């Protein structure tokens, strides 16, 4: 039983680490949305660490210590995921990077993590006798694998090793939100009307449009506004928020993914009943107060 648990947990961590390593950029972009600030960039070391822990279990060396680290880290990330899932509607834990077929619904993610925590506890509390055969070679193999994983993770921070272009740069009007990138970031209440603002903090048209975007919710034209921005412009993003004080939640997307979605900014989407009613790339975003005053009530 212990051998089976070791191999299952090891496989989960090795697969998880590898999936993140080939597209660290996407993983960091997701973690930024957890509101832990730009410290999310420390996530670059998570993929190689997961692979190393998985290999320790497979080779049955340092098993007790590895199981303890697995248990504590899984508890930590499960608590964070539960918080963002229940309060922000974020359903993607990022556990397997941007590889879609490995992703699970939120309840399955939590259940899987509970099983990982339980298995890790059993290995920590009742560790198997460690294998002493070829111990030094195993350490060398793990160190080499960790170095390769860290190198891949560093490279994919700026240049993902997988191509996941899922969305055309074209008009999304009429699309169901569950068929777009939006499904990974937000649950949309069919009874509410939303504005989705896509901008870059280096785009002066976006700066000009921000006051009008802020007014969309203030005026009651929409019930809620959310925004998406490329996640690599850290300094520029801080300047944008400090100067304009946006009243909307901002989700950060890896730059490559952001510009796969749209090649122009600003973009404004109006969403209701889980449908994108309009997809405006004209840059002429009107004030919510202007729309209401001139009788252009909520679009249908």
- Position 179 scores a pLDDT of 84
Is 167 inside a domain boundary?
no
Domain end (from 100, 131, 158): 158
- Cα separation, 117 vs 178, whole angstroms: 31
Report if residue 298 sits inside a domain: no
Q: What is the DSSP string of 38-55?
A: GGGGGGGGHHHHHHHHHH
Residue 192 structural domain:
177-293
Determine, yes or no, domain membership for 86. yes
Q: How many whole angstroms separate alpha carbon 286 and alpha carbon 93?
A: 36
Asked whether residue 63 is assigned to any structural domain, the reply reads yes
Query: If you average pLDDT over every residue of the chain, what do you get?
Result: 83
Say yes or no to pLDDT of 169 above 60: no
Residue 281 vs residue 125, higher pLDDT: 125
User: What whole-number distance in Å separates Cα of residue 157 and Cα of residue 174?
Assistant: 33
pLDDT at 267 over 70: yes
More confident residue, 263 or 204: 204
Do both 68 and 191 map to the same domain?
no
Contacts of 85 (CB under 8 A, 6+ apart): 91, 106
State the Cα–Cα distance between residues 174 and 176, nearest whole angstrom: 7
Together in a domain, 14 and 150: yes
Residue % of the chain over a pLDDT of 70: 84
Q: What is the DSSP letter of 221?
A: S
Name residue, tokens 């660290």. 24
The CATH number assigned to the domain holding 225 equals 3.40.30.10
Residue 95 lies in a domain: yes
Q: Grade residue 48 by pLDDT with cuts at 50, 70 and 90.
A: very high
What integer is the mean pLDDT of 111-137?
90
> What total of structural domains would you count in the chain?
2
In a domain, 266, yes or no: yes
Query: Phi and psi at residue 230, in whole multiples of 5°?
Result: -65, 135
If pLDDT is split at 50, 70 and 90, which confidence band does 63 have? very high
Per-residue pLDDT, averaged over 209-234, amounts to: 91
Domain final residue, candidates 96, 131, 158: 158
102 and 12, same structural domain? yes
Three state DSSP letters for 167-218? CCCCCCCCCEHHHCHHHHCCCCCCCCEEEEEECCCCCHHHHHHHHHHHHHHH
Residue 12 has pLDDT above 80, yes or no: yes
Given a cut of 50, whether residue 197 has pLDDT beyond it is yes
Average pLDDT over residues 92-101: 69
Which pLDDT band holds residue 147 (cuts at 50, 70, 90)?
A: very high
Q: Which long-range contacts (CB under 8 A, 24 or more apart) does 101-109 make?
A: 102/15, 102/19, 106/81, 109/81
Q: What SS3 class is residue 90?
A: coil
Q: Per-residue confidence at 89, pLDDT binned at 50, 70, 90?
A: low
Query: Do residues 200 and 229 lie in contact, with contact meaning Cβ atoms separated by under 8 Å?
Result: yes
Q: Is the pTM of this model over 0.85?
A: no
Q: Are 180 and 194 in contact (CB under 8 A)?
A: no
Q: What does the DSSP 8-state code read for residue 285?
A: P
Look at residues 131, 158, 185 and tell me which one is the last residue of a structural domain: 158
> Helix (H, G, I), strand (E, B), or coil: what is residue 228?
strand
C-alpha distances out from residue 41 to 232, 257, 271, Å: 10, 17, 31
Residues 106 and 195 in one domain: no
* Same-domain status, 14 and 139: yes
| Residue 183 and residue 153 share a domain | no
46 and 142, same domain (yes or no): yes
96 in a structural domain: yes
My answer on whether 93 and 123 are in the same domain is yes
Q: How many CA atoms lie within 13 A of 263 on its CB side?
A: 3
Q: What is the pLDDT of residue 297?
A: 45
pLDDT > 90? residue 54: yes
Cα–Cα distance measured from residue 229 to residue 232, given in angstroms and rounded to the nearest whole number: 9
Q: Does residue 136 share a domain with residue 39?
A: yes
User: Does residue 9 carry a pLDDT above 90?
Assistant: yes
Q: How confident is the model at residue 101 (pLDDT cuts 50, 70, 90)?
A: low
What is the secondary structure of 16-45 as a DSSP string? HHHHHHTTHHHHHHHHHTTS-GGGGGGGGG
Is 168 a member of any domain? no
Clarify whether residues 8 and 151 are in a common domain. Answer: yes
Task: Record the tokens describing residue 57, joined without a space.
Answer: 């279990």
**Nearest Cα residue to 47 out of 20, 66, 77:** 20
Residues 256 and 191 in one domain: yes
Q: Tell me the average pLDDT across 129-146.
A: 89
Tell me how far apart the alpha carbons of residues 78 and 80 are, in angstroms, rounded to a whole number.
5
- Shared domain for 85 and 14, answered yes or no, is yes
Question: Which residue reads 């060398």 in tokens?
Answer: 140
Q: Indicate the SS3 state at residue 272.
A: strand
What local confidence, expressed as pLDDT, does residue 123 receive?
93
């Amino acid at each position: 039983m212990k051998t089976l648990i070791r191999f299952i947990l090891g496989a989960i961590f090795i697969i998880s680490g590898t999936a993140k390593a080939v597209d660290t950029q996407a993983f960091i972009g997701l973690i930024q949305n957890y509101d832990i600030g730009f410290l999310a960039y420390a996530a670059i070391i998570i993929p190689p660490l997961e692979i190393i822990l998985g290999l320790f279990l497979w080779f049955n060396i340092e098993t007790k210590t590895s199981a303890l680290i697995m248990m504590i880290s899984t508890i930590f990330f499960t608590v964070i995921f539960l918080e963002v899932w229940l309060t922000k509607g974020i359903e993607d834990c990022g556990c397997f990077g941007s590889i879609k077929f490995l992703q699970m619904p939120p309840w399955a993610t939590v259940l899987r993590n509970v099983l990982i925590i339980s298995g890790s506890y059993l290995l920590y509390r009742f560790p198997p006798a460690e294998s002493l055969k070829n111990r030094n070679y195993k350490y060398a193999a793990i160190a080499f694998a960790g170095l390769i994983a860290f190198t891949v993770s560093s490279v994919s921070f700026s240049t993902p090793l997988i191509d996941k272009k899922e969305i055309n740069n074209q008009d999304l009007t009429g699309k169901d939100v569950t068929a777009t990138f939006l499904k990974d970031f937000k649950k949309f209440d069919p009874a509410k009307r939303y504005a989705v603002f896509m901008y870059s903090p280096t785009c002066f048209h976006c700066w000009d449009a921000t006051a009008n975007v802020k007014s969309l919710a203030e005026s009651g034209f929409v019930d809620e506004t959310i925004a998406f921005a490329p996640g690599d412009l850290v300094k520029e993003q801080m300047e944008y928020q400090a100067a304009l004080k946006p009243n909307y939640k901002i989700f950060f997307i890896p730059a490559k993914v952001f510009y796969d979605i749209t090649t122009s900014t600003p973009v404004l989407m109006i969403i209701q009943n889980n449908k994108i009613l309009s997809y405006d790339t004209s840059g002429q975003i009107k004030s919510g107060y202007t729309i209401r005053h001139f009788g252009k009530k909520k679009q249908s």
